[in-house]
Amino acid sequence: MDSVKIISENCKGCGYCVVVCPKKVLVIGESSNRMGYRYAVAARPDECISCKLCAVMCPDSAIEIFE
Amino acid sequence: MDKIYGRPESIKNRVSTYCPGCLHGVANKIVAEVLDELELREKTICVLPVGCGTLGLFYWNVDMISSAHGRAPAVATGIKRCSPDKFVFCYQGDGDLAAIGLSEIMHAANRGENISVIFVNNSIYGMTGGQMAPTTLEDQHSTTTQKGRNPLTEGYPMKMCEIISGLEAPKYVARFSMDSPKNIIKAKAGIKKAFELQIDKKGFSFVELMSNCPTNWGVTPLESLEWMRENTLKVFPLGVYKEVE
Amino acid sequence: MKKHFVKGCEAIAEAALRAGCTFFAGYPITPQNEIPEYMSKKMPEYGGVFVQGESEVASVNMVFGAAATGARAMTSSSGPGISLKSEGISYIAGSKLPAVIVSVMRGGPGLGTIMPAQQDYLQATKASGHGGFRMIVFAPSTIQEAVDYTYKAFDYADRDRNPVMILVDGCLGAMMEPVVLPEYHDNCNKKADWVLDGCSEREPRTVLSVSLTGEPQEQFNIEMAKLYESWAEKDTEVELYEMDDAEIVLTAYGTSARIAKTAIDMLRDEGIKAGLVRPITLYPFPSAAFENLDYKRVRHVLDVEMSIPAQMVDDVRLGVLGRAEISTFGRSGGVIIGVDEIVQEVRGIAKGGGF
């Protein structure tokens, strides 16, 4: 199981999580959710160190972190 | 694997109707986290403003009241005086608090009402489409200052922490930013301090949260964070303006 | 029964306290200052909360908040201050909260005068705030009525989850009369299913008057319209004085009605068959009292108000429906109507109509 999980239906594709991640785990993906936003995805999930910075920054509480 | 971070209980499990990248979402979240951590959710009454903050009616997971523009501190006064054992906080934007509601916030602060006020400052009017706010910067474009805010006719940006901390009664007055995880974590600590003050019946607390408005600033969400660092954070200094133990 | 010799404003405040009012917020404005002053002293004795708000606006919004917690809440003011409260009263109505609003009328418009008048009938019954809501409006004519209706107003407010108005003029507010005061009862709404008291062991509640789409607002307004219509049948109150054989009908409310009654007694002594229809609820207006007059006998209706131009007369016309001549007599600005002025006016009507 990945340590970072994006709740894609709640993501609005703002890009904050992508930029604050120190390990460049996240990117804005190619698929759109029901609202029409291209949501963030974990492109390199194994690099995640569960620092939670992405989840702290997310305005939509769309990220869950596991350890 | 244990979940170590997720949506707090004090906001609902649904998509907010704030714009993409709007830091109202962060403000809601960190306030909600503090409500959860201090076990306040079941005794909280949230007083909502008129503005983008009104959309919190469909997001917060606590008892709420939708108040008239600017009047939240007066409404909160009525609620807290009648129910002193409940936790009462106002959540207001810059038009609500610093323009039409200036009298209500000043007098609730001056009376030292045992409430907490969260003030989200993004230097513009969001909900109504980008007009000038009292907190709009000099030369900043808005739909009612299309040549930029001119201090000679529109005055200077209003700094509420500085003004409120000048009153005798308030016990905690502080300004934080939400433009980065580091600042968000500091903001949350400030909110926690303010809320603990109310629990301990110490008096009035005020937390200003510097925020953004990508939609009405005409920039992308990521650009708006840069805009904050380049512009608003240079005019509104962060810090604790008053802290009475 | 024990009687107390009290000033109108103070009697209203005491009646509210005895009705279980536990929150009052208000701002000084003549001629109702005795209400916040009395409340500031007595409310703590009753265990409630008094706040002198920084403005009428703040005060009505404090009442809004207090009402949401289930407290019986009241504010008071006069014309200019009621204008300021308009938005707040609308929010109370739109959010389905109970509250009592007392308006002690003075001369107007603008700053007007601080002397008594009846210049706010339209404000009270038609224009108390935006959005088309209605309020039951009681117009006491004596201090005893002011006590009784203020006491009852809280029950109506709770029943309907709507603001209720007590409308008096500065005369009644300032004068003193002996009254019987009601028993105290602690009757508030703290257990009601709409009260905000924290979402412990239940889903969160919201007090709001906003809708993001049209249909829910429309539905709300439809339900409110039904509520307002229900008042006409069960809550209308009117007094008929010397009406059995009246040919000239005076109509007046509040202090004007008392003066009119004295004039009617004098006219009767002269053989002129005058009578009085005294609305006690201005909303719902007692239209039936006018609709059901025997127009074979009633030739003329004289509307007597301390208002120029006359305001209640518009509602009188809707009840009379052109079946009798209507005229108005009034003084305003704080000039009180003289008994002799009314007697003169009615004598003139009697002569002109060939009575």
Q: Select the residue from A14, A23, A65 to test the B interface by mutation, using most B Cβ atoms within 10 A.
A: A14
All residues of chain B having their beta carbon less than 8 Å from the beta carbon of residue A58 are 25-26, 29
Question: Strands B3-5, A63-66: parallel, antiparallel or unpaired by DSSP?
Answer: antiparallel
Give the span between the Cα atoms of A12 and A24, in whole angstroms: 19
Average pLDDT, chain B: 97
Give the span between the Cα atoms of C52 and C56, in whole angstroms: 9
- Is the CB of C198 inside 8 Å of chain B's CB atoms? yes
What are the tens digits of pLDDT across the range B153-209? Answer: 999 999 999 999 999 999 999 999 999 999 999 999 999 999 999 999 999 999 999
Q: Are C62 and B121 a contacting pair, CB within 8 Å?
A: no
Q: Are C314 and C326 a contacting pair, CB within 8 Å?
A: no
What DSSP string describes C190-207? Answer: TTSTT--S--TTS---EE
Whether the link from the prior residue into C109 is cis, omega within 30° of 0, is: yes
Touch between C and A (at least 3 CB pairs under 8 Å): no
Across the interface, which of A59, A66, A67 has its CB nearest the CB of B18?
A59
H/E stretch holding C301 reads strand C300-305
Instruction: Fill in the DSSP letter of residue A36.
Output: S
All residues of chain B having their beta carbon less than 8 Å from the beta carbon of residue C205 are 63-64
Query: Which of C267, C290, C291 is CA-nearest to residue C278?
Result: C290
Question: Strands A26-32, A38-42: parallel, antiparallel or unpaired by DSSP?
Answer: antiparallel
Query: Which of B132, B114, B135, B99 is CA-nearest to residue B209?
Result: B135
Q: What is the token pair recorded at C184?
A: 């105290």
3-state SS, C55-88, equals CHHHHHHHHHHHHHCCCEEEEEECHHHHHHHHHH
Q: Are A31 and A40 a contacting pair, CB within 8 Å?
A: no
Q: What is the token pair recorded at C260?
A: 């009119």
| Domains recognised in chain A with CATH numbers | 4-65 (3.30.70.20)
Contact A12 B184 (CB under 8 A): no
Q: Are B89 and B117 a contacting pair, CB within 8 Å?
A: yes
Contact B64 C54 (CB under 8 A): no
ipTM of the complex: 0.97
Neighbours of chain A (3+ CB pairs under 8 A): B
SS3 (DSSP) at C165: strand
Longest dimension (CA), chain C: 75
- pLDDT values of chain C reduced to their tens digit, one per residue, 355 residues: 899 999 999 999 999 999 999 999 999 999 999 999 999 999 999 999 999 999 999 999 999 999 999 999 999 999 999 999 999 999 999 999 999 999 999 998 999 999 999 999 999 999 899 999 999 999 999 999 999 999 999 999 999 999 999 999 999 999 999 999 999 998 676 789 999 999 999 999 999 999 989 999 999 999 999 999 999 999 999 999 999 999 999 999 999 999 999 999 999 999 999 999 999 999 999 999 999 999 999 999 999 999 999 999 999 999 999 999 999 999 999 999 999 999 999 999 999 865 5
Q: Are C62 and B67 a contacting pair, CB within 8 Å?
A: no
Helical ranges in chain B per DSSP H: 24-37, 72-82, 94, 102-111, 151-154, 160-164, 181-199, 214-217, 221-227, 233-235
Across the interface, which of B54, B78, B103 has its CB nearest the CB of C23?
B78
Distance from the Cα of B230 to chain C's closest Cα (Å) equals 35
Q: Select the residue from A3, A4, A23, A56 to test the B interface by mutation, using most B Cβ atoms within 10 A.
A: A56
Distance from the Cα of B226 to chain A's closest Cα (Å) equals 12
| Domains recognised in chain C with CATH numbers | 4-235 (3.40.50.970), 239-352 (3.40.50.920)
Q: Are B178 and B211 a contacting pair, CB within 8 Å?
A: yes
User: Stretch B131-146: mean pLDDT, rounded?
Assistant: 96
What are the tens digits of pLDDT across the range A7-60? Answer: 999 999 999 999 999 999 999 999 999 999 999 999 999 999 999 999 999 999
| Domains recognised in chain B with CATH numbers | 24-143+153-243 (3.40.50.970)
